[in-house]
Chain A
């Protein structure tokens, strides 16, 4: 948490603002379809184009969804809340103001627990408020860069898409914590099924407020807003870079100024944007076109009751079922289908660790290689239980089990049939193995002498020889047993 430098010890302080586009059917204040990938300016109407005379109407589903997010983050839902106008001019703000919230956000005072290198910490959530997204500007001509563009085109498909802004408290101190927070938040959003939260497509975006102060100093340093990070890795790098930059700047006699800086992934630095005199004044006032919202406990209770199990709680439950922390953390936020297979297989008698390891490692690897989704395969919970029983009965080696799993995923059939068809069943018949072992002993009398004499490491030699002649089908445990009996 403390950065030591030539001049002393510094405490970086980080707060994160996250914007999440909700995947509701229609926009925040009109009936237009939410589909930002559609042909430009096809999902537009008088309301989201801000034609004269048009008025907003609240999408109640979006309010339910932000409450879902807030409740999942332990927030209080504000019983009497209002929308406000945030006034500023830009080509992608059709009304010349954004309908947002100011002093009465829908959700306030929550938290999110994170863990970095085994150290847990709690990040406070100051608020989550509802607003609308802006249109998208495209700078055309001369490489599409803003300063050299010959023209700018505006696509209003995104204008008015429901947007939730989640503001953390300044409770983080490293880039790794910032990253862990953003990742954990994304998992929550995905678990709630309210957004696809795709970083690269901008349906989840984050800005970091970074400041540094001397260790022990109660006042916060001047904060710098860092933007333009579109991966978790770049968030971590940008925050760490900005911390170093501010410390170095102060140490060289400079003063940190309040500004917005853009992260440049290519050169790994943040760059100051053209700063304007004074701070922007958004002249917030209560939106007169929308009535206040009354979100009382009667409204909140069913939403709270319907919250799904969240990744954090699920991971804890999986650990209690005997999963290693690693597998639990991967499986808990995994796709619903993977979790469903896991839970049904375990319910039907499968071994939790074995089933989890197959799903987290082998199935995942196979899917990646085959470039397909779990949903596209015929793998069932029954298959996983059957496979486990074959291993437990000594009919499949663990490596053969993985091969069988691949065949099942490929649609070749159920585990037992696939194992038979591909000649993968272990030889578990002591009689059949005994004659093979006898031949090997006869061919290697010297080694046998040493083994009988107590040289245990030769077990591997004999097992290996047996596996070779049986083409891998011998049950190695049984072979060892026979060897011990003979010695």
Chain B
């Protein structure tokens, strides 16, 4: 077994015991990347030098006894997280070549913790998509079946963790962009409560929905990664200024006594039968282990996708206005400022990004605002109230993560609506700002991973991680993709 296949917890123990050096671990991970990247394309950029330098520093810290939980742990970052001096593109031509002059807060925290940053992972351009097919720099492939997508938008991060070209990774989740690729790659993906991880330095897609979160091979690791980046940041005015709820003490408390909500409107209707069967199997397992299943109804979340596709594009239409060719990134020529900007944007953005900018611009336009954006905000408020009512009766809510397992590359790329429906079960917790996690729940007949999703109220991380760990214990940590099929 290669060191690249260790969990973060396992690697930590080996590093601290002196059985493994951070440099050896980094080399193992970089070797794994070399072996798999040609097939999988998880990364847009691998920072060999930076990773080795960080590994050397980590070994020194370990020797000096100043190591923290992530010292020497190779981590991958979605390429919408701003990294000082390291090209950050959002998988868009419009930012190709841009080297940021600063680190985002989460990145700075990871560096401070001694993590070894392996590189920047592929995504759907500006995090808009559910497959990574919208990347301007090529699709990432699912290591379980390379004809299939890894999910998205944080597909590259999911793949890196699934195959060991990183021990953990970070992505961003605006409508399911962490949880859905986690489900499709057999990894754990966690979206924290909105505001627990600073968005400073996360290139904005939809400000009121975006949240940074981790990918990991098990629930323990996901919590470790989350703990490293969580906390108040004065640079992000939407960041939570209270204490980060501590999920450690109750992590292993087990399922007994947990009240698990089964929501009528999120009960898997329209989902693949095998996904539904596995979802019900996990629910039964929880019940048998002492949890109580409670039926709840949340009528306002019946149409999450339409609500989401008004709010997210509206915010995106403004967030992406800064890419105008004036200060950074791609610039086209023009006789006038207007022409320069219009051409820059027309050339620099891909079709899905343009589609969403148009959608959002339309939704905010005079005469349409009330019917579209205004109405969507009202539905969002109702959805939050529905969740709050539900959490009076239950501790966590269960749902499938994705209605299907990994789909074929190209299968949905010509049908935006079918693609948008990939997020039907994940969007509600972005609208509410509540935490949610996807944990592996086995595979379908074709051997493709299925995810099981848990949702909790705002700041409900302790009960969420406890429930996730319970599911993991019941279902077993996911099998890993067969490397011989993806290694070049």
Identify the A interface with B (CB < 8 A). Answer: 46, 49-58, 85, 87, 89-91, 94-97, 152, 154, 281, 283-285, 288-291
Let me know if A94 and B104 touch, CB within 8 A. Answer: no
Identify the B interface with A (CB < 8 A). Answer: 81-82, 88, 90, 95, 98, 100-102, 104, 199-204, 206-208, 234-238, 314-315, 317-318, 320-324, 326-328, 337-338, 341, 361, 364-366, 369, 373
Let me know if A52 and B324 touch, CB within 8 A. Answer: no
Let me know if A87 and B364 touch, CB within 8 A. Answer: yes
Complex Cα distance A154/B340, Å? 15
Complex Cα distance A455/B314, Å? 94
Let me know if A57 and B234 touch, CB within 8 A. Answer: yes
With A283-B364, A288-B207 as contacts: A89 and B237 at CB distance below 8 Å: no
With A95-B321, A97-B318, A285-B314 as contacts: A53 and B364 at CB distance below 8 Å: no
Let me know if B322 and A52 touch, CB within 8 A. Answer: yes
From B102, B204, B315, contact of A46 by CB (8 A): B102
Let me know if A291 and B361 touch, CB within 8 A. Answer: no
Q: Could you jot down 20 A-B contacts, CB within 8 Å?
A: A46-B102, A51-B82, A51-B101, A52-B82, A52-B90, A52-B322, A53-B82, A53-B100, A54-B200, A55-B237, A95-B318, A95-B322, A96-B318, A283-B366, A285-B315, A288-B206, A288-B207, A288-B315, A289-B207, A291-B237
Let me know if A154 and B364 touch, CB within 8 A. Answer: no
From A49, A50, A56, A283, contact of B361 by CB (8 A): A283
Q: Which has the most chain B C-beta neighbours within 10 Å: A53, A57, A284?
A: A53
Q: B203: which A residues are within 8 A, CB to CB?
A: 52-53
A424 smallest CB distance to B (angstroms):
65
A144 smallest CB distance to B (angstroms):
16
With A53-B100, A53-B202, A288-B208 as contacts: A89 and B324 at CB distance below 8 Å: yes
Q: B317: which A residues are within 8 A, CB to CB?
A: 87, 283
A38 smallest CB distance to B (angstroms):
18
Complex Cα distance A87/B235, Å? 23
Of all chain A residues, which has the CB nearest B341?
A89
B342 smallest CB distance to A (angstroms):
9
Interface of B is mostly: loop
Complex Cα distance A53/B101, Å? 11
Complex Cα distance A87/B314, Å? 11
A461 smallest CB distance to B (angstroms):
79
Q: B208: which A residues are within 8 A, CB to CB?
A: 288
Complex Cα distance A94/B318, Å? 12
With A49-B327, A94-B327, A285-B373 as contacts: A87 and B321 at CB distance below 8 Å: yes
Q: Which has the most chain A C-beta neighbours within 10 Å: B204, B206, B318?
A: B318
A51 smallest CB distance to B (angstroms):
7
A357 smallest CB distance to B (angstroms):
54
Complex Cα distance A154/B327, Å? 10
With A97-B321, A289-B238 as contacts: A51 and B326 at CB distance below 8 Å: no
With A55-B200, A281-B366, A289-B237 as contacts: A50 and B318 at CB distance below 8 Å: no
From A90, A283, A291, contact of B238 by CB (8 A): A291
Let me know if B322 and A285 touch, CB within 8 A. Answer: no
Q: A97: which B residues are within 8 A, CB to CB?
A: 318, 321
Q: A94: which B residues are within 8 A, CB to CB?
A: 322, 326-327
Let me know if A46 and B207 touch, CB within 8 A. Answer: no
With A285-B364, A291-B237, A291-B238 as contacts: A53 and B200 at CB distance below 8 Å: yes
Of all chain A residues, which has the CB nearest B366?
A281
Of all chain A residues, which has the CB nearest B362?
A283
A168 smallest CB distance to B (angstroms):
24
Let me know if B100 and A51 touch, CB within 8 A. Answer: yes
Complex Cα distance A109/B201, Å? 39
B25 smallest CB distance to A (angstroms):
29
Q: B373: which A residues are within 8 A, CB to CB?
A: 285
Complex Cα distance A53/B84, Å? 12
Q: Which has the most chain A C-beta neighbours within 10 Å: B199, B200, B369?
A: B200
Q: B315: which A residues are within 8 A, CB to CB?
A: 285, 288
- List the 4 shortest-distance A-B pairs measured between CB atoms, nearest first: A96-B321, A283-B364, A288-B207, A288-B208
Complex Cα distance A53/B102, Å? 10
B440 smallest CB distance to A (angstroms):
31
Q: A87-B318, A87-B321 are known contacts; what are 5 more A-B pairs with Cβ within 8 Å?
A: A50-B322, A51-B328, A89-B324, A283-B361, A285-B315
